[in-house]
């Protein structure tokens, strides 16, 4: 506690749910070690200051129009944010540093911002302020995704049917069809942006992976340390320190919990596709029928606006809704960490965002993988093929496939084996955040490192 007294850390999260949670979690961890925390944030998707009374929040304008706020192309949105936030962020940070010198009360130790902010590295350097980079994806994805421009240039497209399942040695453990989905969706903007991220990370004072630890990512961590030649910290599943719900950008429907209380142990399949994925009406109906036909109780999160062309679930015919209500509950947003912890949850049909994947591992909940974009395909391969703690739908959003996968996951033999492996993985990851575990030690090292600035 004492060594960090009167030190302030500035955080600058990217305004997306999957990036906000880990940054706020890190802030809480550092605050508990005696650091004061200032969060500079965009107006768009601003965190709820009232949920974190111990932090100071400073809002900057982001210049996003209403249309831009709804952009599905996340990389395009991030490049716009990088352009528009540079000047207001510089003004705010400069003022903070000036007030620090004037008042001489509290030293600002460093800036910690998301790897997806790229203008911050030269700015921090010009202000003589150490910058640490936070990344919220799996280490193997972060390390590997810099190879995408090379794959695009060299030989990847078009992809023949016979090569779909081939491995990709440059970016394991993905298959060619996974990479195809990545390259297909992204534009040339991405290649230049990735290069900026790489350079800005390499020039930084250190790299922090939240939600990763030696137990989940040992080999990639060794390689990343060679690649970047900067200190790297893998501080483990952050939500195990503090509940993540408080940094939720949407209001969770708490009626999930009493509903779960009424269900039998390990009987419910939880379904959520995270904060960004959108699906078609037809796909929503396939999921609905798959869930109903499986006969398993289900808790299904359908985010408002996540079904293209509709507000919510109003396009589900009345008679289908009646059948769904017999077995399940549909909400717009759930208190996910609490849901996954609940004794009634027996499986998770997931998009495999990294936060959701790790939350599921930490609660020992086996998964059915339905990845859509970005790191989700890699995470799904780890779950289904490396750790073997889940089944992969291979993008078949069809009622029969969904029903079949749920039945397999809840079955005694195959499901039981998956559950057993998940139990072991949960224990291994759980040990990492306990005293002297790898993530615990890494957090200690991070605190010492920040204190040394
Ligand atoms: C995005 C990308 O989709 C993902 O690929 C990348 O790894 C991180 O950024 P997102 O879709 O937000 O992620 O998914 P994820 O990383 O799983 O994060 C979602 C967070 O929202 C989780 O912490 C989860 O607990 C929370 N959540 C989700 C809720 O609190 N309630 C819900 O109903 C759904």
pLDDT, tens only, 173-198: 999 999 988 886 656 788 899 999 99
- Higher confidence at residue 187 or residue 314? 314
Ramachandran region, residue 418 (left: φ > 0; alpha: ψ -120 to 50; beta: rest): alpha
Verify cis geometry, omega within 30 degrees of 0, for the bond prior to 173.
yes
The three-state secondary structure class of 331 is strand
- Higher confidence at residue 238 or residue 47? 47
Q: Which domains does the chain have, with CATH numbers?
A: 8-143+186-241+433-451 (3.40.50.2000), 250-430 (3.40.50.2000)
Strands 36-42 and 7-12: parallel
Atom of ligand 1 nearest to the CA of 350: 17
pLDDT of residue 105: 57
- Quote the CA–CA distance of 339 and 261 in Å, as a whole number: 10
Verify cis geometry, omega within 30 degrees of 0, for the bond prior to 433.
no
Confidence of residue 246 (pLDDT cuts 50, 70, 90): low
- Quote the CA–CA distance of 191 and 113 in Å, as a whole number: 21
pLDDT of residue 70: 83
pLDDT at 31 over 80: yes
- Please give the average per-residue pLDDT across 368-393, as a whole number: 97
- Please give the average per-residue pLDDT across 55-68, as a whole number: 94
Q: Which residues line ligand 1 (CB under 6 A)?
A: 16-18, 21, 136-137, 244, 248, 252, 272, 274-276, 301, 333-334, 336-337, 353-356, 359, 374-376
- Quote the CA–CA distance of 96 and 92 in Å, as a whole number: 6
pLDDT at 9 over 60: yes
E-strand spans in 131-220? 131-135, 206-210
**What is the percent of the chain with per-residue pLDDT over 90, rounded to a whole number?**
84
pLDDT at 238 over 80: no
Q: Whose Cα sits closest to atom 15 in ligand 1?
A: 353
Burial class (CB in 10 A: 0-12, 13-18, 19+), 102: exposed
- Higher confidence at residue 442 or residue 244? 442
pLDDT of residue 159: 80
- Please give the average per-residue pLDDT across 406-431, as a whole number: 97
Cα 339 versus chain centre, distance: 17
Q: How far is the CA of 319 from the centre of ligand 1 (A)?
A: 31
Q: How far is the CA of 211 from the centre of ligand 1 (A)?
A: 12
Atom of ligand 1 nearest to the CA of 21: 23
> Where are the alpha helices (H) located in 39-138, listed in sequence order?
66-69, 74-103, 120-126
Confidence of residue 6 (pLDDT cuts 50, 70, 90): confident
pLDDT at 116 over 90: yes
Total Cβ atoms within 10 A of residue 424: 12
pLDDT at 2 over 50: no
Atom of ligand 1 nearest to the CA of 337: 25
pLDDT of residue 184: 67
Q: Whose Cα sits closest to atom 28 in ligand 1?
A: 274
Confidence of residue 239 (pLDDT cuts 50, 70, 90): confident
pLDDT of residue 18: 86
Q: How far is the CA of 238 from the centre of ligand 1 (A)?
A: 14
pLDDT of residue 156: 67
The three-state secondary structure class of 162 is helix
**What is the percent of the chain with per-residue pLDDT over 70, rounded to a whole number?**
95
Best mutation site among 174, 275, 306, 380 for ligand 1 pocket (most ligand atoms within 8 Å of CB):
275
Q: What does the DSSP assignment read for 4-67?
A: GTTEEEEEE--SSHHHHHHHHHHHHHHHHTT-EEEEEEESTT---GGG-TTSEEEEE-----HH
Dmax (CA) of the chain: 68
Atom of ligand 1 nearest to the CA of 332: 33
- Please give the average per-residue pLDDT across 393-419, as a whole number: 97
Residue 330's alpha-carbon distances to 72, 186, 290, 300, 334, in angstroms, are 24, 32, 14, 5, 10
pLDDT of residue 4: 43
Average pLDDT, the chain: 93
pLDDT at 101 over 70: no
Q: How far is the CA of 275 from the centre of ligand 1 (A)?
A: 5
Of 79-88, 247-256, 291-300, 371-380, which gets the smallest average pLDDT? 247-256
pLDDT of residue 1: 43
Q: How far is the CA of 334 from the centre of ligand 1 (A)?
A: 11
Q: How far is the CA of 7 from the centre of ligand 1 (A)?
A: 31
pLDDT at 370 over 50: yes
Q: Look up tokens 């970047």; give the residue.
A: 228
Q: Whose Cα sits closest to atom 14 in ligand 1?
A: 353
pLDDT of residue 186: 57
- Please give the average per-residue pLDDT across 255-264, as a whole number: 98
What tokens appear for 355 in the block?
A: 């936060």
Residue 61's alpha-carbon distances to 68, 253, 384, in angstroms, are 14, 30, 42
pLDDT at 3 over 90: no
pLDDT, tens only, 428-444: 999 999 999 999 999 99
- Please give the average per-residue pLDDT across 415-435, as a whole number: 96
pLDDT at 17 over 60: yes
Best mutation site among 274, 333, 371, 375 for ligand 1 pocket (most ligand atoms within 8 Å of CB):
274
Q: Whose Cα sits closest to atom 3 in ligand 1?
A: 353
């Amino acid at each position: 506690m004492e060594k960090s007294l009167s030190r302030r850390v500035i955080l600058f999260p990217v305004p997306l749910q999957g990036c906000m949670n880990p940054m706020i979690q890190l802030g809480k961890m550092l605050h508990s070690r005696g650091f004061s925390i200032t969060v500079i944030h965009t107006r768009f998707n601003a965190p709820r200051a009232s949920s974190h009374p111990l932090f100071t929040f400073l809002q900057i304008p982001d210049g996003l129009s209403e249309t831009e706020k709804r952009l599905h192309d996340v990389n395009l949105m991030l490049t716009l944010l990088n352009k528009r936030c540079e000047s207001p962020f510089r003004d705010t940070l400069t003022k903070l540093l000036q007030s620090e010198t004037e008042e001489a009360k509290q030293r600002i130790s460093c800036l910690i911002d998301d790897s997806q902010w790229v203008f911050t590295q030269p700015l921090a350097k010009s202000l003589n302020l150490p910058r640490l980079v936070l990344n919220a994806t799996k280490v193997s994805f972060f390390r590997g995704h810099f190879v995408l421009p090379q794959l695009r240039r060299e030989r990847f497209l078009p992809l023949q049917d016979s090569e779909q399942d081939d491995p990709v040695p440059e970016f394991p453990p993905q298959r060619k069809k996974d990479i195809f989905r990545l390259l297909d969706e992204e534009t040339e903007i991405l290649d230049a942006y990735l290069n900026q991220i790489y350079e800005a990370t390499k020039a930084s004072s250190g790299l922090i992976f939240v939600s990763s630890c030696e137990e989940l990512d040992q080999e990639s961590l060794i390689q990343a340390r060679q690649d970047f030649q900067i200190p790297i910290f893998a501080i483990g599943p952050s939500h195990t320190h503090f509940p993540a719900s408080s940094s939720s950008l949407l209001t969770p429907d708490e009626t999930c919990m009493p509903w779960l209380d009424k269900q039998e142990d390990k009987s419910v399949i939880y379904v959520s596709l995270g904060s960004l994925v959108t699906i078609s009406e037809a796909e929503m109906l396939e999921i609905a029928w798959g869930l109903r036909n499986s006969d398993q109780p289900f808790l299904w999160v359908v985010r408002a606006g996540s079904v293209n062309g509709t507000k919510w679930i109003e396009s589900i015919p009345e008679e289908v809704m009646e059948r769904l209500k017999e077995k399940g509950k549909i909400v717009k947003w759930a208190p996910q960490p609490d849901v996954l912890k609940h004794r009634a949850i027996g499986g998770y049909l997931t998009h495999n965002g990294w936060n959701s994947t790790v939350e599921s591992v930490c609660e020992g909940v086996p998964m059915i993988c339905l990845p859509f974009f970005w790191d989700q395909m890699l995470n799904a391969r780890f779950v289904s093929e490396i750790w073997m703690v889940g089944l992969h739908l291979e993008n078949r959003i069809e009622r029969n496939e969904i029903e079949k996968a749920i039945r397999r996951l809840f079955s005694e033999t195959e499901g039981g084996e998956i559950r057993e492996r998940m139990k072991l993985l949960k224990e291994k990851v759980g040990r990492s955040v306990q005293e002297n575990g790898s993530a615990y030690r890494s957090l200690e090292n991070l605190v010492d490192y920040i204190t040394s600035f």
